[in-house]
Structure 1
């Protein structure tokens, strides 16, 4: 693998900032996805090609293994209410993240609205019903504790039953909302339930989409699989993917962790592949974590930035990412920070759409 030599400026958070006009942020996906713009960067000859996803396969070298992330996005945003001292209902927004304990009966959540330990948030399903606080069939979220990082530990309870993960996921599926990223400044719609999910989404557990995967329709994927070897891993993308690095020296940043799963069969494919192309940064982090630790399942907390070489990933497809994010640092680890920012600038000049519903960049 090519190693990008890091310089002192590569470790400064301020070095990963860039100006992004609000109109460059994609609020809706390109349809059909094959019409989305594709910027191809060939490292060997330092060449940039402007194309589209209809021609994606034309650029991928033969004998390349394509790795996709088959995680499925949870409808992680819920609404409920708590009853204040005056007996009035106060609407509370809940953002579900993941299980907190091994018994899968306590969960990490975030809330919008003033909440303290011991509070109960009655879920949205009761807002239009006549049930009153204390009814036996009432479903509510009980706050057990608040953590220093802004998360809360909570239980989901129906009557007197503490609900396990499978029952909580059913509540989210029935009553939740698709968790659009914070930079998409609009309400989610029924269409987002399809648009913000890859066509091969299978394993429920993500609270954000592996967005490089959104560029592929069922028909396009079938054509790719006729020509190339493909495989699927699972990494449940967490909301930490949107969190900007805060430490002035990026090496001091404690990256979020996300559950990943790689089957023994896929591990064998990765070990034997001539070249590996990861569809998205989530796949890249999973494959690189496996290359370093040889674990097939666990919590991936790998932070890639200039000076941290890629050991197994040869090529990468990715969207255009937020300033000062771990994702733009990962891209910089592969092609260098200056080249990354240069390409982002050229993408803006050429009308590329950024972020989750935006266009893509193929690094070869």
Structure 2
């Protein structure tokens, strides 16, 4: 299967530059996988589709202010560092710009020396392994010095940083938001529970590899990035009891989907665990754990387009996207939502 099979032409005006004032006021395109029919609703209508006894699985990872601006010690040229993956003991995998200014051994400083760092290794893909030196709590320093790493297609300034967090975000560690969950409000979560729906939470720290373009024309040649995930005993029990009772498992976002499909056995049952996943889901994959999927609209030729095309079919998804463009849905991180039902 070719990368170009997942291409579509998107007018730039449809790329959402800011979130709507009310999270659940976004539009919801409902794709019925049984017959390919499309219905146009609003996100708050999602509650009508979820049944008592179902379980919705959310990714509770929280975005960290991962973009740092500093410079090399003794220099004045600005250097941007984007934190990607925590390797432990102050060591992070990072993107840097300009790369030529961050060779191995370069010493960096941020915030008048509040935070310093050493470039320890330049990896084959160009990412840097950088060790940070500081006193106190690293995340508190990031809160002071860092900014939210919004995707490059968002050109407008985000006034309220919490709008790039889900209302249920809990565990810091993502370089990008699990954006399918941005539409949920506390009131919606309460309404779902009052309807008899179980709410379960996994953690998958979203890396920017999710958004990197697929370069190979044959998609099977693409090498997927790894992301860290966690599922606790309580969540595993909620999912397994739902499955055994005949309820449906809903995944909010491709990150929750990848976590569930990484952990699930052939019967869709899961167990508490943590680790790294590089699962790459594309057409031909058989889903084991996810029955219904809530997701945003994705970039052309992305691994996320390939995942949802595996969940429905490429033809159904491309037709749904054609209708979304025709109806002028808002696209990408701050855009509208889609239910594959």
TM interval, shorter chain, is: over 0.9
> How far off is 1:104 after superposition?
2.3
The CA distance in 2 between the partners of 1:41 and 1:285, in whole Å, is: 20
1:287 and 2:260 are equivalent in the alignment = yes
Deviation at 1:167, TM superposition (A): 3.1
TM-score by length of 2: 0.93
How many Å separate the matches in 2 of 1:174 and 1:140? 14
For the residues of structure 1 that align with 2:2 and 2:272, how far apart are their CA atoms?
31
Q: Please identify, of 217-226 and 199-208, the stretch whose mean Cα deviation from structure 2 is larger.
A: 217-226
Whether 1:250 aligns to 2:250 is no
Pairing 1:104–2:89 present: yes
Instruction: Give the aligned partner of residue 183 of structure 1.
Output: 153
Alignment partner of 2:209 out of 240, 245, 252: 240
Partner of 1:139: 115
TM-score (norm 1): 0.87
Q: How does 1:301-320 map to 2 (within 5 A)?
A: 301-320=278-297
2:307 corresponds in structure 1 to 330
Cα distance between partner residues in 2 of 1:269 and 1:139: 42
- How many residues align structurally? 330
Which consecutive unaligned segments of at least 5 residues does structure 2 have?
A: none
Partner of 2:48: 58
- What are the equivalent positions in structure 2 for 1:145-160 lying under 5 Å apart? 145-158=121-134
Show the counterpart of 1:76.
66
Q: How many Å separate the matches in 2 of 1:322 and 1:244?
A: 9
Question: 1:89 is paired with a residue of what secondary structure?
Answer: coil
CA offset at residue 105 of structure 1? 2.6
Please list every run of 5 or more consecutive structure 1 residues that lacks an aligned counterpart in the other structure.
Answer: 1-10, 127-136
Q: Which residue in 1 is equivalent to 2:14?
A: 24
Q: CA deviation at 1:190?
A: 4.1
How many Å apart are 1:305 and its aligned residue? 0.5
> What's the CA shift string for 1:114-151, capped at 9, x where partnerless?
3211111210x11xxxxxxxxxx653121111011121
* 1:119 aligned residue (102, 106, 109): 106
The structure having more radius of gyration, on CA atoms, is 1
